[in-house]
Each structure stands twice: as structure tokens, then as C-alpha cells.
A and B are shown apart, each in its own frame.
Chain A
Amino acid sequence: MSNSAASSKSVIWDWITTVDHKKIGILYFLTGLFFFAVAGLEAILMRIQLMFPEMSFLGEQTYNEILTMHGTMMLFFAAMPIFFGFMNFIIPLQIGARDVAFPFLNNLGYWLFLFGGIILNVSWFTGGAPDAGWTAYAPLSSNSPGHGVDFYVMGLQVSGIGTLMSGINFLVTVINMRAPGMSMMRMPLFTWSSFVTSMLILFAFPALTIGLLLLMLDRIFGGAFFDVGLGGNVVIWQHLFWIFGHPEVYILILPAFGIFSEVIPTFAKKRLFGYTAMVFATLIIGFLGFMVWAHHMFTVGMGPVANAVFAVATMAIAVPTGIKIFNWLLTLWGGRIRFTVANLFALAFIPSFVMGGVTGVMLATSAANYQFHDTYFVVAHFHYVIIGGSVFGIFAGVFYWWPKMFGYRLSEAWGKWFFWLFLIGFHLTFFVQHFLGLMGMPRRIASYLDGQDLNDLNFISTMGAFLMGIAFILLVINVFISRKNTTNVNDPWDGRTLEWSIPSPVPHYNFAQTPLVRELDGLWFEKMNGDGRMKAAEPLDEIHMPNGSILPFFIALGLSIASFGVIFTSWIVIIVGLLVTFAAMFIRSIKEDHGYHVPVSEIKADQEVEK
């Protein structure tokens, strides 16, 4: 065996077993981007099908499967993991920590997410993907023939465990691992919003877990929770799903709000306007996010009292969101605004998201919602907030943090082409859908009849989708052609927060010495009032680091095997899978692992190289 083969094997081993939050972050991020591309391709297939009336490009059944997978993949396996990637990579750096609180759990969370995504997608090759929509309303889901919905249930269940772990991990990390002087009210907004996001995960995901459990029992083990004939109730699923599902959309938007709150101050060269108001607005949005789930259910017959209460509660969310918008505008006011690609996405977010926000208030108007509900108006609304908010946030974060994560800068020129094509494509695709909805086009239809005046706008919408697809290809090209831009990567944007105080790529122990934080925007404070470097809070000393482990991989693998056992109702496979999981957990419990120490000499050598 040659040397390179041996080293490449050890590289793979290193990435599988890693407990380094930066590597796990990159794994989340790249896997998420891959799933994003897959789900995006599914969206384009759907738009091709809807380009002309009565197209037969995809059959109805295939269309419903792609529709379901697009939503499920985008939310659970693209947007959330990409944000998890950023959170993993950035939170410890922003709070001056050397890792997350539970590195082992972090690794486990990633493998559960990846295996969950694989389980879900295996359905394509075993007789058909889930076809009941990402909301999987019973009894359509509980009666859906074949195994498609079973894959949905088990894929989400497995990845959901991982998500819950990650949420707990981030909560503990933020509470316990902050560097000296990094008080809660000095935390960067991205860390704050990730913290609130993690709280939402902690309280929202159990509702999904229960819902999926009931659905699994109904589908596979003869339960009757959603079987009306046996006394079941199908609306229970909708409540459980949306008690999870509404906070879920805030799980997707709050980290993006956090990214904008980093990017806008950096490129306006101004401190975030109204920091305290921003923090409390984030907390209020998170809290209200749990109070409004039934606005997805105005038409299920909850009665006028419930509808009125949930309508008003939903409208209330516009207030803290408005506070945020105005604070961002006032951050820009009086600044020196640089139009980098990262900032272009942040700036494009403001009008795009406002448009998605106002249609949100319109949808909250319960009596009018009877017209909007389940039409393309809703499709337009949630793509305006999810793309105009979350995805723009992701792309802003991609261009902003890429040098820190990968050690090179993405091309600004290619990035601007990408930005403009994506922005135009996005508005072209979704703006017209508001009108389609009111003109009588229900959502989730596999095609539409000719002669209903829906043709032109659908064609325009599809053209927009193509533009977004082309734009994404430009991003991928950018990633590959920019690899030589390795100069000026440590602090390319004149950053304000701690992650820009350390080299890129980041040493595996992050901070040679734990920094002392003296003010909000700690690095900026040192640039203005100190020597431009973070003060150390400790003498240079050995650094204690955790060892990698292969056990999380096997814990997750065992659960995945058991999931296939559940899907195909094979008790042997279930037992084998669970044995693998519990064996790995047992080994973890009895094997003592004290980690290792990075010697001072290595740290000093790194610092020499840096100079």
C-alpha cells in the first residue's frame, strides 16, 4: 500500500470519528448543500411539470412524491443542517470556546442526521417515495399504500433525535462555555439567535416525535389513532405536526436573522443598532412561535373563537419582526455600506422578507385566510420568507464565513452574477404565485387544466425557477475556481467578532489562549481601543482536547438498521440494529477516555507559522 492511500484512509477515518466542532460543522454544511441541490432539482422538475397546462412530464403519483420530498428535504435535510453547520463552526469561535459542550454527542447528531436523510431517500429505490406532502396529513399519510410514508416516518425520527441532541448541545455550550467577559448581553446576535433556535428545537421536536410515533404505530403496528372508523381523530395529527411545524419555521429563520445581524454591522462598519431590542425581539419571536400553530388550521373547523385568537396572536409576531427590520435599517443609517456579495444577500433580504412578512399578516387574517389557504398564495408567501429569509441568510453566511471555514475567499465577481440571477429568478418564480393563488390555483396540484387563465403566470414562474437553478450552478463553479484566493483570509471583512481574531484555517484548538472579552463586538473594541488583538484570559499552557470516536457512527448505524427493520416489519433486523446501538453505547459507558493534551511547543510552532 502506498503512503498516499494510507494517509487518505486515515483522512476518512479522521472525518468519520472527529469530535472537532469545525469538522462536524463542515460535514453538516456540505451534506446540507448537497441535499439542497437535490431538493432544488426536485423543485425544478415540479416547475417543468407546471410550465404548461396538462403536462405529462411527471405522472401524478411521481409529482406527489417529488412534492413531498422537496419540502421534507429542504426543511429537514438542507436548510436546518446548513444552519447547524454554521452554528457548529461559528458559535464556539464567537464565544471564545475550544469546542462545544458535548463533542461526542455532536458527532452522533451528525450521523443521525445523515442516516435519516439516507433512509428517506432510499424510498426512491424501494417502490416509491412518500407522497402525502411534507405535512403528511392523516389519513392520507396513514392510508398511503406502499412503504413511502414509512420511510418518511423513520427518516425524520432518526434525524430528529440528532436534531434534538444538537439543540441541547448548543444550549449547554452557550450557557457554559463562554470565554471570560463574554456575558450573555455581549454575545454576537448569531450566537443569540442560535441559542433561541436551540430552545425552539428542544420544545418543538418532541411534538413531532410523538406525531411520528403515532403515525408509525398506525401504519406498521395496527394502531388506530387516525382511524376514524375505530374512534380515531385525524385532526390530532395536524395539531401535533403544527405545534412542531410552526416553531420549525422560526428554527429556520432565526439563525438567518442572526447571520444578517453579523453581516450588516460588519459591512456598514457600525455597531448593531438597538442590540438589546434585537435580543428581546428574538426571544419574543421564539416565544410567540409556540402560540400560533393553529393559524395553519383556520379551515379545519376550530370555531370562530379559536380562529380569532390565533389570528390576533399571529399578527402580534409582526411587531417584533418589524422591530428587527427597523433596527437593521438604522444599523445601515449613517454607516459606510460595502456591497460585497455577503452584504448584497443581507440587503436583498430586507425588502424580500418584508414582502413575505406582509403576506404573512394577510394570511393571519382568518376570515380572508379561507380564500388564501392551500392556494399558491401560501406557496408564494412561505417561499418569500424561507428563500428571502433563510436561504438569503445561508448565502450571506456562505460568502461571509467561507474564508474562515475553508481558508479561501469566494470570487466576488462570480458571486455577484450568482446573486443577481438568483434574486431575479426568485422574484420571478414566486411573485406571480400570489396572483395564481387568488385566481383559483390550489397548491399541491400535479397539473392544471387549460382555459383557466393560469397558463401565462405559471410559465413565468417556471422561467424564474430555471434562473435560480442556473444561479446555483454559478455558486458551485465559484467554489471550485476560487480555491487559490488564499490571501487575506484571517479577517477579510474587517470583522467585529471573535471568530475573526484567529487564523484561517482555524487551529484545531481554536484559541491558543482563551480570549478576554471587554465589550460587545470584542474584536472591534480591541481594534478601536487596543492593539487590534484579543487580550488573553490565561497564560499559554497545554490545551486539553477530546479524542475522536467511531462509536457515534455505530450508534447511528444501529438505529438506521433498526429503522429498516421497522419499515419492513422484520423483528430480527430491529433487534440486530438495536443491539449494535446499545453495544456501542455500552462501550462508551465503560471505556474511560480522558482525551489528550496539545503541548505548548505545538501551539508555539503554529504561532510561528502564522507570523
Chain B
Amino acid sequence: MENLTALDPRGPVAEMQMSLIQLSLYIMIFVIVIVFTIYIFVLIRFRERPGDTHIPKQVHGNRALEFIWTTIPILLLLLLAIPNVMDTFTLADTGVPEEGVDEALLDEDEAVEDYLVVQATGHQFWWEFEYPDLGINAGQDLYIPTDTRIVVELEASDVIHSFWIPSLAGKQDNIPGITNDLWFEAPEEGIYAGKCTELCGPSHWLMDFKVVAVDPETFAVWAENMAEPDEELTEPSGEVAVEGREVFENNCIGCHAVGDEGSPTGPNFTNFGERTVIAGFLEYNEDNLHDWIRDPESLKPGNDMPAFDENTISEDEMDSLIEYINDLRVLE
């Protein structure tokens, strides 16, 4: 079971947000208990009893009471507003010096030593992850090292999307023409579910991604092989896979890149064989991969990938293509 719920935070940002949620919840439960107590008492005590015809006293109001129920809520809200304002500023500060700011002028305490910048671009309906400092382009799976501050720069290519990893960090929007950022850390290794949370078209509900947190050593290997794939890794393992690479080069490379060959129009395929799902949601197996390539539209309506029927890719070619894609790995 991968980590989905925000109720079980797995990193400092989600923990900060969870404790704020809890604080607000406790204050609100306090309010609810008071209101409900008065409410239930009033309904029982002052209900009309059979035969009761008295006219209640017509009370105008009470200044002291008005004062009390104006000031106490203000104090309760301050209790929540102050930590909220502090957290809002903490979350907005990625710790990365802005361009054009002289780093020498920055307060040393504020600078974060160890951080990794990732550009997350939302497309209808998939996620592109670029690591500008490492020269890596990846699709759908966001590999990160544990215990490192991840600074995500959010962009969008078509409509507004929103980047959310419930168990690691609350969301920020990916907006065309604007770059937003957020930061998070994942202390534990694992796979964390990510979702698009802004209505972006028919397949909005399928626009999932994964955050894969690995230890820094593994991440270094991953990053190295993604940037410059090892010959041994990219070279197809068998004859069938060699055929598959030909099919790939004839049909797929216009949109999908392996290593530095191919176009970034669609998700990068360099490490496709290590994905846990296809197209963000389909269980990774050969049948699903086959069905997806044959008819992506019926599985994920509105996505840009064309269908490849048997005239374009025959069943035999499909088998070898799938074998080749399965072989695309950078970590083994």
C-alpha cells in the first residue's frame, strides 16, 4: 500500500500541516462542544409542553453577552492565526537563494545546504520532471534522495494543474505562464502517491504520479544513469529487444525519448521498465502495455497519444517493442 493519505504525514512539511490541522480541529471541537451544549439544553428545557400557553418574556438583548461572544472567538482565532502566519511564511521560503541575489549577503542560517531543484511541468494528463542541475528529464516518476530538501518549480504547458503529494506536502498550482514553487523532504524511503488536484479535462482523475524516495547513494546512481545511460543498460538484452528498439525508433521516438535520443513531447522512457504503473494508473504488465499502445484514448480520454493499430505495429512487432520497453532500466 503506497502512501496516499494526508492524515499519515511522512515528511516535515506534511507534519507541519497536520499539526496545524490538528490545532484548528481542537479549537473548533471546543467551539462545537460549547454551541451544541447550549443548543441541546435549550431545546430540551424550553420546548413547548402540552397545554402550555404562556407568552415568554420578550427579551431585547444583553450587552455583556454580546461582548463575551465577540471577544472570546477573536481570542480563539488569534490562537490559530499566529501559528498559521508563521507556517505560511516557513512554507513559502524554499531556502534557495533567488537569482540575482548575492549569496554572500544571505544570512548563513537561512541558506539550506543540501537541496535538489526539480521542475515539475503538468501536461494533459501526465507529469514531466526535469532536474536542471543534473541534466535529467523524467516522466511520471519523481525520484528523490531521502533527507534532502526538494525544491519543486511548478509549471504547466496547457491548462492549470496542481501538484499534490498528500503524505509529503500540500499542493501548489501549476499555472501556464507562471512559475510557482514549493519544498518538501522525505526522510523515509518509499513510494508516495501524487495527484493532480485542479480540474484539467476529462482524464483529470487519472493524472497521478509517484514520488520515489531512495537513499542518496541509489539516487546518485539513478541520476548518473539517467543523464548519461550506461551502454550496458541501454543496449537491448536480446534479439527480440533489438527488434523492439527498431519498432520504437520507427514509431515512438517522435514523442518519447530514451537517454538523449528522442523528443520530450511525451513522457521520457529512459527508465520506463522501472515504473510501477503505465500512464500513471494502469498496473504494469504486458497486457496493459499492449492495450494502452493500441488504444490510449479509450483508457485515458483526451490524452495526446495516438493509437497504434495492427497496420502500424503488428502483433509480432508489439511483442518485441514491449520486451524492449521492459528492458529500459537504469538502476539494475
Interface residues of A (CB under 8 A from B): 59-61, 64, 132-133, 137, 139-140, 143, 228, 232-235, 268-271, 273-277, 299-301, 303-304, 307-308, 311-312, 315-316, 318-319, 322-323, 325-327, 329-330, 332-339, 347, 350-351, 354-355, 358-359, 361-362, 365-371, 373-375, 438-440, 442-449, 451-453, 528
Contacts and interface: CB of A to CB of B under 8 A. Distances in A.
B61 interface: yes
B177 A274 contact: no
Given A139-B158, A270-B56, A374-B171, 4 more contacts: A319-B77, A333-B38, A371-B18, A444-B199
5 contacts: A140-B199, A304-B92, A319-B77, A373-B170, A439-B6
Contacts of B197: 373-375, 442-443
Nearest to B85: A308
B306 to A, nearest CB: 18
B174 to A, nearest CB: 10
B65 A326 contact: yes
Given A273-B61, A337-B47, A370-B169, A61 B14 contact: no
A354 B308 CA distance: 55
A301 B204 contact: no
Contact of A271 (B58, B93, B170): B58
Given A312-B85, A337-B47, A442-B195, A322 B69 contact: yes
B42 A329 contact: yes
Interface residues of B, number: 90
A373 B62 contact: no
The CB with the most chain A CB atoms within 10 A, among B57, B70, B198, is that of: B198
B307 interface: no
Nearest to A63: B202
B36 A228 contact: no
Interface stretch (B24-32, B143-151, B287-295, B319-327): B24-32
Interface in B1-53: 1, 4-7, 14, 16-18, 20-21, 24-25, 27-28, 31-32, 35-36, 38-39, 42-43, 46-48, 52
Contact of A132 (B46, B65, B199): B199
Contact of A439 (B5, B32, B55, B171): B5
A325 B170 CA distance: 32
A101 B208 CA distance: 56
Interface stretch (B128-136, B160-168, B217-225): B160-168
Contact of A367 (B60, B62, B87, B201): B87
A274 B59 CA distance: 9
A308 B89 contact: yes
B35 A329 contact: yes
Nearest to B160: A137
Nearest to A64: B202
A59 B32 contact: no
A139 B159 CA distance: 5
A368 B70 contact: no
A340 to B, nearest CB: 10
A217 B158 CA distance: 19
A277 B20 contact: no
Nearest to A331: B59
A312 B81 contact: yes
Interface in B106-164: 154, 158-160, 162, 164
B233 interface: no
Contacts of B302: 60-61
A233 B195 contact: no
Contacts of B46: 268, 332-337
Contact of A64 (B21, B58, B199): B199
B211 interface: no
B175 interface: yes
Interface in B54-111: 54-62, 65-66, 69-70, 73-74, 77, 80-81, 84-85, 87-93
Interface string B267-311: 000000000000001000000000000000000011000000000
A299 B17 CA distance: 14
Nearest to A444: B199
B160 A274 contact: no
A60 B166 CA distance: 24
A269 B32 contact: no
A277 B6 CA distance: 40
Contact of B301 (A61, A275, A311, A439): A61
A370 B17 contact: yes
B234 interface: no
Given A274-B62, A304-B88, A446-B205, A347 B195 contact: no
Contact of A442 (B66, B164, B175, B301): B164
A271 B91 CA distance: 49
Nearest to B196: A442
B60 A275 contact: yes
The CB with the most chain A CB atoms within 10 A, among B66, B281, B301, is that of: B66
Contacts of B91: 304, 367, 370
B77 to A, nearest CB: 5
Nearest to B172: A299
Nearest to A68: B199
Contacts of B61: 273-277, 327
Given A337-B48, A339-B47, A137 B70 contact: no
Nearest to B164: A442
B204 A235 contact: no
A235 B175 contact: yes
Nearest to B7: A438
Interface in B240-273: none
A358 B159 CA distance: 32
A347 B172 CA distance: 39
Given A308-B88, A322-B69, A271 B198 contact: no
A311 B84 contact: yes
Given A299-B162, A367-B84, A354 B48 contact: no
Given A323-B69, A358-B31, A370-B17, A336 B52 contact: yes
A301 B182 CA distance: 9
B100 to A, nearest CB: 17
Contacts of A276: 61
A338 B47 CA distance: 7
B20 A367 contact: yes
A440 B6 contact: yes
Contacts of A273: 59-62
In the A-B complex, the 5 residue pairs with the closest CB atoms? A370-B170, A445-B205, A228-B177, A358-B28, A301-B180
B42 A333 contact: yes
A365 B80 CA distance: 8
A322 B73 contact: yes
B193 interface: yes
Nearest to A297: B173
B195 A234 contact: no
B124 to A, nearest CB: 9
Nearest to A231: B177
A451 B4 CA distance: 11
Contact of B20 (A268, A334, A335, A365): A365
B60 A268 contact: no
A354 B31 CA distance: 9
B176 interface: yes
B254 to A, nearest CB: 23
A315 B81 contact: yes
B35 to A, nearest CB: 5
B77 A315 contact: yes
B301 A371 contact: no
